[in-house]
Structure 1
Amino acid sequence: MSAVKSKRMPRAVREQQMMDAAVRTFGQRGYRAASMDEIAESAGVSKPLVYLYLNSKEELFTACIRREAKSLVEAVQAAVEPGLPADRQLWAGLRAFFTHTAENPDGWAVLHQQAPSQGEPFVSEVAVLREEIVAFVTGLIGAAAREAHHDPALPDRDVAGLAQALVGAAEALAGWANVTPGVSAKEAAGTLMNFSWAGLENLMHGRSWQSRGE
């Protein structure tokens, strides 16, 4: 009897393999420097096959942005348990964010370094990710305000502004942590928690900072 022929690799598996190689190459080499030849070689496939599955370098990069963005958002959302106190929810979300960016440095480089510097349509793709994260954090801060007050004292505009500031700080800190030896995800999350929570807690209890003499 002849040996049973091995099955062809399913399209989804092969596409995932190519995407992994693309994220690695774009993250380490940059969008402009990365070539489809290099990505194909890293994935162990032919260049025509990469084009067959993903059409063009631009579409491949867009697909990488979307995949890495979805993975990051899902990691943060999955870590937050709605029944926990507000500070524990924020802590869980921050730890998940920094753990994910530390474990996926090439994906974070694609999202935070490469895509924003390459213009449209990539900037818009990253903007979608940021809006999702900001909306999620806005919900956390709003929940914290409701926990502190039956009638929340923080206006919607203030909550939205705090969420923007917190997400911006997390993005900057993740970029720093990923290139600074010895900084763990827990340490990065603790740094931002210490920086942000005291201020958030004061605001939730009506103790806002006031400039003097103005």
Structure 2
Amino acid sequence: MGAVKTKRMPRAVREQQMLDAAVRTFGQRGYMAASMDEIAELAGVSKPLVYLYLTSKEHLFTACIRREAEALVEAVRAGVRRELPADRQLWEGLGAFFTHTSRNPDGWAVLHLQARTHGEPFAAVVTAMREEIVVFVTQLIVDAAREAHRDPHLPEREVAGLAEALVGAAESLAAWANATPGITARQAAATLMNFAWAGLGDLMDGRPWSPPEPDHDGTGGTLPGGTSAESSPTT
């Protein structure tokens, strides 16, 4: 009896199967500890086939980072309906972000932990992804601020720092939520929404927080307890 022939799988499908296995392995074991042997075994293919498709461990890892980054950006963009009020848009964006990271913990570990600690080529891909999300969030906030202030020319720089801070907080909170049993994507999104929207809401209403006026000697005033604002160490 001749050997049983297996059904030939399309290259694109086979490659995604390898990437699935690689993301799981890199996310759970880390880039350095992961081996091509275990990735091939998990994917159900031979190691030579992995090398044939993706040439090296470095190229495989880069392909994983790119795929996961594109998926996250697409999830956030698709999750926001721009016809909704500003607070609902932000809520939906945060919900989409935390839903995606909670459903893809290995992919998030690859992006948030592994890619940033193993060299510039890997980190550069994540940086580009992050910048795209920051630009998107900045536009959400600036559009809302312009509408609230009835000023279509409100400079984007007025809110760019807020978007940067919000994205950074979301990244840290996603890592915490994935490592904390019982925390849902909705709970994580609500936590950050409660933290952020109090300040953003005041901004939209034209009530931004302002630092105290400088003292007559030119210092930045005092902090609670009599400490000079300028002499106080930064954290």
TM-score grouping bracket, smaller chain normalisation: over 0.9
1:10-66 superposed Cα distances (whole Å, 9 cap, x missing partner): 111110100000000000000000011110011010000000000111110000000
Instruction: Give 3-state SS (helix, strand or coil) of 2:208's partner.
Output: coil
Q: Normalization by structure 2: what TM-score? A: 0.86
* Structure 2 letter corresponding to 1:205: D
What's the counterpart of residue 225 of structure 2? none
Structure showing greater relative contact order (alpha-carbon pairs closer than 8 Å, 6 or more residues apart) = 1
- 1-side partners of 2:108 and 2:73: how far apart? 12
Instruction: Identify the structure with the greater helix proportion.
Output: 1
1:133-157 deviations in Å (ceiling 9; x for gaps): 0011011001111220221585322
Matched, 1:189 2:189: yes
- In the alignment, residue 90 of structure 2 is paired with which amino acid? L
Which residue is 2:174 aligned to? 174
Q: In structure 2, what is the equivalent of residue 7 of structure 1?
A: 7
Contact 2:138 2:163 in 1 (8 A): yes
> Where do residues 1-214 of structure 1 align in structure 2 (5 Å cutoff)?
7-151=7-151, 155-214=155-214
For 1:24 and 1:190, the matched residues in 2 are separated by: 28
Poorly superposed stretches of 4+, deviation over 6 Å = none
2:25 and 2:7 map into 1 onto residues whose CA distance is: 28
- CA–CA separation in structure 2 for the residues paired with 1:41 and 1:6: 17
Instruction: Point out the more displaced range, 67-76 or 151-160.
Output: 151-160
Larger radius of gyration: 2
TM-score by length of 1: 0.95
Mark the runs of 5 or more structure 2 residues left unpaired by the alignment: 215-235
CA contact (8 A) 1:18 1:43 kept: yes
Task: Show structure 1 runs of 5+ residues with no match.
Answer: none
Amino acid at match of 1:183: I
Q: Deviations over 1:101-122 (max 9, x none)?
A: 0000000000000000111100
Structure 2 CA distance for aligned equivalents of residues 75 and 103 of structure 1: 12
Q: Could you tell me whether the CA contact under 8 Å between 1:174 and 1:188 is conserved in 2?
A: yes
- Per-residue CA shift, 1:57-94, capped at 9, x if unaligned? 11100000000001111111111011101110100000
SS of the equivalent of 2:120 reads: coil
1:168-203: CA deviations, max 9, x gaps? 000000000000111110000000000001101111
Structure 1 window deviating more from structure 2 (200-209 vs 24-33): it is: 200-209
- Asked whether the equivalents of residues 146 and 154 of structure 2 are also in contact (C-alpha less than 8 Å), the reply is no
SS in 1 for 2:7: coil
Aligned residue pairs: how many?
211
Judged with a 3 Å threshold, the aligned counterparts in structure 2 of structure 1 residues 42 and 5 are, in CA distance, closer, same or farther, namely closer
Give the Cα–Cα distance (whole angstroms) in 2 for the partners of residues 25 and 6 of structure 1. Answer: 26
The root-mean-square deviation of aligned C-alpha atoms, in Å, is 1.5
Distance 2:150 2:181 in 1: 44
Contact 1:154 1:203 in 2 (8 A): no
